[in-house]
A and B are shown apart, each in its own frame.
Chain A
Amino acid sequence: MTEIFWLIPFVPALSTLILAVFGRILPKKWVSFQACFSVFVSFVIAVFSFIGLLQTSHDKVPLIKTLFSWIRAGSFEANLSLQLDSLSAVMALVVSGVGFIIHVYSVGYMAEDEGYKRYFTYLNLFTFAMLLLVMASNLVLMFIGWEGVGLCSYLLIGFWFEKHSAANAGKKAFIVNRIGDAGFLLGIFFTLILIGSFEFTAINEAISGGVLAQGAATLIAILFFVGATGKSAQIPLYVWLPDAMEGPTPVSALIHAATMVTAGVYMVSRLNLLYTFSGAAAQIVAIVGALTAVYAATMALTQNDIKRVLAYSTISQIGYMFIGCGVGAFAAGMFHLYTHAFFKSLLFLAAGSVMHALSGELNMQKMGGLRKYLPLTYPTFLIGAIAIAGIPFFSGFFSKDAILSQAFAQGQYFVWVLGLMGAIMTAFYMFRLIFLTFYGRERLEPEAKRHLHESPPMMTVPLVILAFFSVVAGYVGLPIVLGKNVNLFDRFLEPVIKVSHEPHLTLGTEWLLILVSVAVALFGIYLAYLFYLKNPQIPHNLVARFPFIYKLLYNKYYVDEIYDAAFVNTTVKGSELIYDHFDLKVIDGVLDGTASATNFSGKIMAYLQSGLLKDYALVFLFGAILFLGYLLLF
């Protein structure tokens, strides 16, 4: 079945088309079935393609299927062609697999919503665009997918568009992404000028063949990374992601945690040769990733909205993925992407289940003591939190440790220290969330308490499946201390991501690094325990002692306000100024002037038209005389 791998994106595309055209007349049950089934078919094809890929010899990879030549102009050529290699296979599996689980969960979560059919149309469209993004064999097609997922993100954030904040959040996401996309587009143009082809294979050949100067490579790599900071919510373009939580929770899980926001990491890994060759660009990626990892984590510390904590956590975790890419450990970055997809979508879906149980309550200060009411949501949430905190034997531990030990091995101690600081905070805010939500005194609203119930199986079964993967997904990438070739994930990705042969750390150092990261995670959890269970007065005392820091964090460093003042307001004010002075005066003046000049000349000419027969005859006579005179004289 490997030959039909190119069908993977097109099954959801077909489903989208049917839903968009016939959605109104199809029964609700059929819509649910079709939407889930189409993604499931993609997943099955992806699994078979994956198996087929394991049996294909390395020199035949990547498998490329050119469907047709899309744009051709001179030497410029862009094909509609898809490729299958280990990197796109991993991504296709994650996108279709997690996507399928979230489709199923949505059937339960959105059951009561009026826009049910519209929701599934968008969700299918998103799956198509994301699969196109990861399977495209050239930059232009990748850009189509890149824009497609951006569009779906906008549509789904603003899904409840009658709510003003949701409509605004959608616009914000779209505009902020547009800034990143401008960088991406410029990168594509420079690639065309300097390399002359969009195909990833040709780009890689050009880099290995030394066609590209190092400065040019850095320029292109940085422009692409600008695109990545927009889509993957890194400093300075991260501001849209927390607001994106206005959308339905399954959307936050699928698009704004598991798949779309990791597109930037995928793109950097796809162009790993470019970043390795440039060096400087990779360093920038690592530093931006590390700064984002810490910065976003600090903002998560004080938030009370359960989904916003998870949103900042997503930004922070994507920062870790970029650390991996930046220090040259692209495989480790991809590994974290893959484990993160499971535990973060689990956390979001579990948060959605909590909201569902509490009739839409988001504020953690109004929860507490929920663990006995939610017997399935609580343990799955706990598993997700343990996985993200980096406790051994859960998936997040393996991937985060791989990134941090690689950072250390490459001598990037600054990045490594930032990563550890982020890890403490990750453990702290995740367990703060757990303790505030599931432990302690019940602080529920009486109204919410009456309706309190565990979610239906349509929602809890996906939680259990994701919890299972949050535990076991890490075992395909065991650390080197357990043996030379136990990291199956790295070995599988090797055809695309060459493992660098830098001097490895000694086993003793590796063990030490693992111990440090475990200690850090446990310390964070202990702090959360101390603050929110043992002695709940501590946070209040801290707030009282450092009101400035608390306010700064609680208000997210006032970045939204700064951006508003610096960019949004100046743009709006400038536009108004131009409207008042240029549009109204210059453009309207020119148009009105032309009209009144025509009017005036018409009035002058009207004097000639007296309406008297004799005047006309006189003019005629003079004309005839002049004409005859001319004939006679010349």
Chain B
Amino acid sequence: MIPLSYFLGLSIVLFVLGAVAFFVKKDLITMFMSIEIMFNAGNLAFITLARAANSLDGQVIVFFIITVAAAEAAVGLAIILLIFRQKKTIKSEDMRLMKG
């Protein structure tokens, strides 16, 4: 039996990796991917704790998150594609239209 802390530790490591990648990387695709990693870190924590608490709720929520993430990925990629067509770049620093 693999102890609970291993699962949670992996989840934390994945989340921190995702967060760091989000702030370090410049192109939108990579940033988008790091968001997905943070999602899955969350999913892992949900399933682990649901299993430990012997409850189905956490596992159901994970299904929802996967569904939403799939839809969100489609929309997000479409947006990035359109931005690229307009600006010929996907660097986040080049997009400052909302500067006050």
Q: Which residues of A contact B (CB under 8 A)?
A: 605-614, 617-618, 621
Contact = CB atoms under 8 A, between A and B. Distances in A.
Contacts of A606: 100
A609 B92 contact: no
A610 B99 CA distance: 5
B53 interface: no
Interface of B: 19, 22-23, 31, 92-93, 95-100
A468 B15 CA distance: 115
Contacts of A607: 100
A613 to B, nearest CB: 5
B29 to A, nearest CB: 13
Contact of B96 (A611, A618, A621): A611
Question: Among A605, A608, A613, A621, which residue has the most Cβ atoms of chain B within 10 A?
Answer: A613
A607 B100 CA distance: 7
Contact of A609 (B22, B93, B98): B98
Contacts of B31: 613
A605 B22 CA distance: 26
Contact of B93 (A605, A608, A612, A621): A612
21 contacts: A605-B100, A606-B100, A607-B100, A609-B98, A609-B99, A609-B100, A610-B96, A610-B99, A610-B100, A611-B95, A611-B96, A611-B99, A611-B100, A612-B93, A613-B31, A613-B95, A614-B92, A617-B22, A617-B23, A618-B23, A621-B19
A608 B100 contact: yes
A566 to B, nearest CB: 60
A610 B95 CA distance: 10
A618 B20 CA distance: 11
Contacts, number: 30
Given A612-B99, A618-B23, 17 more contacts: A606-B100, A607-B100, A609-B99, A609-B100, A610-B96, A610-B100, A611-B96, A611-B97, A611-B99, A611-B100, A613-B95, A614-B22, A614-B23, A614-B92, A617-B22, A617-B23, A621-B19
> A-B pairs with the 8 shortest C-beta distances?
A611-B99, A609-B100, A606-B100, A611-B96, A611-B98, A613-B92, A610-B99, A614-B23
Contacts of B92: 612-614
A612 B23 CA distance: 12
Nearest to B25: A614
A615 to B, nearest CB: 10
B78 to A, nearest CB: 17
Contacts of A611: 95-100
B41 to A, nearest CB: 14
Nearest to A607: B100
Contacts of B19: 621
Contacts of A613: 31, 92, 95
A421 to B, nearest CB: 86
A617 B97 CA distance: 16
Find the residue from A606, A608, A612, A618 having the highest chain B CB count within 10 A.
A612
A431 to B, nearest CB: 89
Given A617-B23, A621-B19, A612 B100 contact: no
B5 to A, nearest CB: 18
Contacts of A618: 23
Contacts of B23: 614, 617-618
B77 to A, nearest CB: 16
A607 B96 CA distance: 13
B52 to A, nearest CB: 19
Contacts of A614: 22-23, 92
Contacts of A621: 19
Nearest to B28: A613
Nearest to B98: A611
A618 B92 CA distance: 14
Nearest to A617: B22
Contacts of B98: 609, 611
